[in-house]
Amino acid sequence: MPLVANSDLPTFKRLEEEGETIVQGDDAIHQDIRELHIGLLNMMPDAALAATERQFFRLVGEANQIAQFYMHPFTLDALQRGPEACAHIQQYYETFDQIKEKGLDALIITGANVSQPDLSLEPFWQPLIEVIDWAYENVTSTLCSCLATHAVLQFRYTQKRRPLGFKQWGVYSHRVVDRMHPLVIGANTRFDVPHSRFNQIDRSQFDAAGLHVLVESEEAGVHLAVSEDLFRLVFFQGHPEYDIISLLKEYKREVIRFVRRERPDYPPMPENYFPLKIAAILEEHKERVQHAFNRGDQITELPESLIIPELDNTWHDSAEAVINNWIGKVYQITSSDRRLPFMDGVNPNDPLDLK
C-alpha cells in the first residue's frame, strides 16, 4: 500500500521516480483507507541521512497492508550536523515534541556513528533514552536498528555490546530459529542479511536479557530478536534496509580514507558480497591504487560502472516480509486513536496475543 507524501521531503519524489507508489497528501484525505503513522528517528550521519530515509521508507511502503503510511522523520539535537543536513532537517523533519503531541503507531530508530568507547558517553545517550522510554509507553512497537539495538540492550537490559576487534562486514546467511513467531511467518527459513559493525551483542546476552531470538547466523550472530512481550521492542543487528549498492559505497569510502591517510591499511572487501569476477577487478584496482599512492601519483577512481551491474540483492524480499509482518501486527492491534492494548485494561507485562 502507498506511502503518503505528507510533506515536501525529497525522499518521496526520489522513491516515486524509482517506481514506488506515492499518494499525494491532498488525494490521500479523500480515500476511505485507514492511516498508520510511523516515526523514523534518523540518527545516521549527514552523508547517509537521505539514503537512510529512502531505505526505511521503501520497506514500509512495500508492506502489503490496507493502509496509508504517514512517515514522520525526526532526529536528536545532540547529534552534530553540518549546514546542509541542518537545513534539510529544519525544512523537512519534525521535532520530538511534535511527535509526542501527535502520537505514533510505530517507531523505527536507526543506527548512528559513535566516537566513545562506551555508548553512555555519547552526547545522544540521554536524548535517545528519553525517546525510547516514551515510545515504550506510548507506541505499539519500536523497531531498533543496529546501534539502537545496542543502546537499548545496554540501558534497559544491562547488556553491553562486545568489541569484535574487526569489522563484521558483508552479506551473511541466516536461519530462522522460531518459524512460528508472527514476525517471520511467510519469510524464507534461510535468507541473507547485510552486516556492518565493529561491536556485537552475543546470543548469550540476548538470552540473559530474556529476549527471544528469531533469526541468527553462524558467522554474523543474532540478527533479529524481540522483547519478552513478543512485540513491544524489535531488534535488528544487521541492515536488511540496505540498498544493493550500500556496501559498495561503504567500501569506496574506506578506500578514500586510505588514500587520505585516515586509515593505515587498505580496506578488505565486504564478505560474500562481490562476485568472483568483481573481486578480481577490485584486487587489480587495489594494486594500482597502492602503486600510485606510494609514488605520489594521481589515484584512479573505483570502476563503479563495471561493478554495479554485477551485484545481487539477496536480502530485500525477506526484509520486506519481516517489515510487512511487523506493520501488519501494528495495524491489527491499534485503533484509529492509536491507543495501546494495555491502555484498555491489559496488563503491560502480559504477552500480546499476536498469533
Asked if 338 and 104 count as a contact pair (C-beta separation under 8 A), the reply is: yes
Asked if 135 and 74 count as a contact pair (C-beta separation under 8 A), the reply is: no
- The Cα-based distances of 202 to 147, 159, 165, 168, 235 in angstroms read 14, 9, 14, 13, 13
Beta-carbon neighbour count of residue 216 at 10 Å? 21
CA pseudo-torsion sign 315, 319, 322, 328: negative
- The Cα-based distances of 160 to 60, 208, 237, 314, 349 in angstroms read 30, 12, 14, 31, 24
219 catalytic, yes or no? no
SS3 270: coil
DSSP run (H or E) holding 216: strand 212-217
Place of cell 573505483: 302
Q: Which of 129, 139, 43 is nearest to 93 (CA)?
A: 43
241 catalytic, yes or no? yes
Marked catalytic residue, from 53, 88, 122, 146:
146
30 catalytic, yes or no? no
- Edge-to-edge strands of the sheet including 233-236? 22-24, 3-5, 68-74, 35-41, 106-109, 141-145, 233-236, 221-226, 212-217, 162-176, 190-200
Marked catalytic residue, from 223, 239, 285, 316:
239
User: 83-92 and 49-61 helices cross at what angle (nearest 10)?
Assistant: 30
Label residue 59 exposed, middle or buried (CB < 10 Å: 0-12, 13-18, 19+): buried
Place of cell 563484521: 168
Dist CA 311 CA 33 (whole Å): 38
Marked catalytic residue, from 241, 250, 254, 320:
241
Q: Which residues are catalytic?
A: 146, 239, 241
